Structures are given as structure tokens and as C-alpha cells.
A = this chain, B = another copy of it.
Amino acid sequence: MVIEIDFNSDEALYLQLRNQIIMGIAADRFREGDSLPSVRQMAESVGINMHTVNKAYTVLKQEGYVKVDRRRGAVVAVDADRLKTWEEIRRQLKVILAESSCKNISKEEIHQLVEEIYEDYR
């Protein structure tokens, strides 16, 4: 899977990595049971430190996106506990919708944008 890190972004490297992996799972580029590249492999291929990758993987594990197998490394295994996710999603959406609302982006445009993004995940 192609992962691109923007070193000029204000977003932390490990978060960029985390986000791209989650988007990769959503887009089915990573499937249940697939192994992620080892921390060392990923670090080299992306051009960042091993510990930064390790932090991303650790976060992904804590959030229930991967499980770690001693021999196979980080394996995609989504633990679908909606409840923990739900409030967090709601909290973030609330801020985004406030921003867009202030900037005259209509509710309908948001719905359309959601549709658009879901198209890309297909």
C-alpha cells in the first residue's frame, strides 16, 4: 500500500500514518487478516523512524484496528465496538459541522460530500 507522509504538514507523523492506514482499511486496500509491514520495514519505506511507526501501530492496536501476532506482526483485525467510537465521532463531527456552517456550507452539501467520500471508498 502506498503511504505518503507530508513532512510539511502540521499533523504529527504517527497520526498521518495512523489515518492513512485506517483509510486503507476502509477502502479495502488492507483486509481483515492482512499483515502490515513490520515497523522496521514501514519505517524505511516511508522514511521515518522505527519508533514513530511503532507509536502509530500501538495507537491502532489500542483503538481496535489491528491485533499483534508475535510472528506475523501487526495484523488487521477490526474490533467493532461501536460504542467507544460513537461519542468520539460525534464530538469531531460537531466541530466540523460548526466550521462548515459558519462558512456557508449547507447541510445538503455536507450530505453530498459524505456520499462523495463513500464513493471513493468503494
Determine whether the beta carbon of A113 is less than 8 Å from that of B89. Answer: yes
Main SS at interface, chain A: helix
| List of B residues within 8 angstroms of A118 by Cβ | 97, 101, 107
* Interface size class of chain A, counting residues whose CB lies under 8 Å from the partner chain: 35 or more
Q: Is A86 positioned at the interface, with any CB of B under 8 Å from its CB?
A: yes
User: Nearest residue in B to A99 (C-beta to C-beta)?
Assistant: B22
Q: Is A93 positioned at the interface, with any CB of B under 8 Å from its CB?
A: yes
User: Which of B78, B94, B104 lies in contact with A23, CB distance below 8 A?
Assistant: B94
| List of B residues within 8 angstroms of A102 by Cβ | 22, 25-26, 65, 78, 80
User: Which of B78, B86, B107, B113 lies in contact with A93, CB distance below 8 A?
Assistant: B113
